[in-house]
Structure 1
Amino acid sequence: MHRIGFLLSDGFQIMALAPQAVFEYANMVTGEAFYTLDNFSVSGGEVRSSLGVQVGTRSLRGRLDVDTWMVAGVNDPLTSPAPERILAFLRKGGSRARRIAGICTGGFVLAEAGLLAQRRATTHWAFGREMQKRFPDVRVEEDRIYIVDGPVWTSAGMTAGLDLALAMVEKDLGAEVARSVAHKLVMYQRRAGGQSQHSEMLDLAPKSDRIQNALNYARQNLSRSLTVEELASTAHLSPRQFSRVFTLETGQSPAKAIEGLRLEAARLMIEQSRHPLDVIAKETGFRDRHHMREAFIRGFGRPPQAVRRDARMDS
């Protein structure tokens, strides 16, 4: 039996409790109560979320045999710092647990308690730079879904906590159980920890169906050369009209947007498969692995080999 404690304070973000469903369904899949869960706060009793929902908790007093601590985040860690009593508890009791995790901005709590010193960590993309500024001894990687550094886990914002919990289930009970849990929760897949928090398609956000259709066509045919003429044809526009409308709606030229889609697809393949880089380059429309490497350094600031290495470290 593995006991998981969710550490809450007033104003916690309600999505921090969503990972509890992952552990609940892991019990259902295995047919046994492998995980037991409790909510904790400094004094116990009801704790109010940022939404106003009240959740019952146990106090941190007494002997607590918790294997994994999950520290909930808040909407804005800059204006809602963690209570000193929680920080004191983590400094003293955090090392006794097998592992400890900061969900979303819960990473700020771990950093304040000194648990992230000289470790890799991530948090919600909106607060990554502030975390690095406030805690220079933390190696913040602000564009990651989650990061595992020894016994300390941190996740990006909101739904990334589900990916982190699934990764814990996979580590504890195996990949097959994790896949079954994801299926039951109607999750498309467990995102790799090294995966970007951002989606190129969401960032482009075209306003019209014709440009959206052209982007969908491009994403489904990345191995092709994808000329402006070909994309314009799918949008039923002339190449000149297409380039003008595309740039107006997305803020990017067609060429730059397509390279972003290629990079996103290549990164996913690098993180989630063992295909050689030559094969990935061909499948995602780069001329060769050297062309792909140049695009990775331009887009991500590091080569494909570094992306694959980090993904394996977080798996």
Structure 2
Amino acid sequence: EGFLVFAPEHPLVRDHLTRLSRGEALPAQVRNAADGAAEALYGLGSALMQDTSSDLSEVYLHLALYLRPDFDIARSLLAGAHESRKRWQDAIDAYGKIDRASPLYMNARIQTALALDRLERDTEAVAMLRRLARDKPDRIDPLVAIGDIYRAKENYAEAVIYYERAIALSGTPADRDWTLYYARGICFERLGEWDKAESDLKLALKLSDDHPLVLNYLGYSWIEQHRRLDEALAMIEKAVERRPNDGFIVDSLGWARYRLGEYALAVKYLERAVELQPDDPTINEHLGDALWKVGRRIEARFQWNHALAMNPEEKRVKLLRAKLEYGLEAAESAEREEAAADAVGL
């Protein structure tokens, strides 16, 4: 039971505890010499998983499965190795061989759905997860997975529906539930329902004991709204201390400095953020804005062009083009005038 402190939802541990509570004997981990060899090969494969430059871990896992075809934990690890290399169909094929009676079956089906989504077969993925939710009405995992798929597709209203169903099932908020409130808070923020978003993010912050992701998202949101800037800055600095190599979090710190008018310092952090996360359009746009403010205008236009080439959100495309044509101040002024006109229905 002590293991549950570190992995509260581990399916194998849950299954074993359930069996013990019914007075059942646990299945033997090693039934014969072949099983023992499979265990050893699995251990080697698991140890080598971090080496993404080599397929050696997969070789050991295939050997383990050859010796013990019903070794579902090895098959799950093999599927995970395929996922880490973005071989989504191989992952689907591996998960598909896990027996329906296995404690790992639900996780296999959820991961299969997520892999299908990666292959842009999201309709099929959501349908699979809905069936799983109907079959296991007491489990939140399929609902969360559906919410995650919709959130990734920027269908935030639909995502909220599934996160709310998961939250209703989870009962009184517990520490492990912080990701539910964090995810729903992001959706509310994207939908423009800030009061609900702020409430969820504050609860997620409390439940997660100041997780860097929550510190960053809430702090960044306040900065974007020009609210509670000192508090927001302190939160993001704390997040950077905990995750100094996270480009998105370092970007938030640079953007906070930008909002405070500390443009030279903003450039320092935003250049670092681009080094860490070079393919994000928002971070590149932020760096362009900061470079413009310190007079490095050729470099600023380069960053804006770079951001535009990265398929940014549609609402950013028009502003980036305006920055390139007219400069930062004129583009932002035009954006404010357009927003004011929209607000009064002109």
TM-score by length of 1: 0.28
- Relative contact order (alpha carbons < 8 A, sep ≥ 6): 1 or 2 greater? 1
Q: Which has the higher strand share?
A: 1
TM-score by length of 2: 0.26
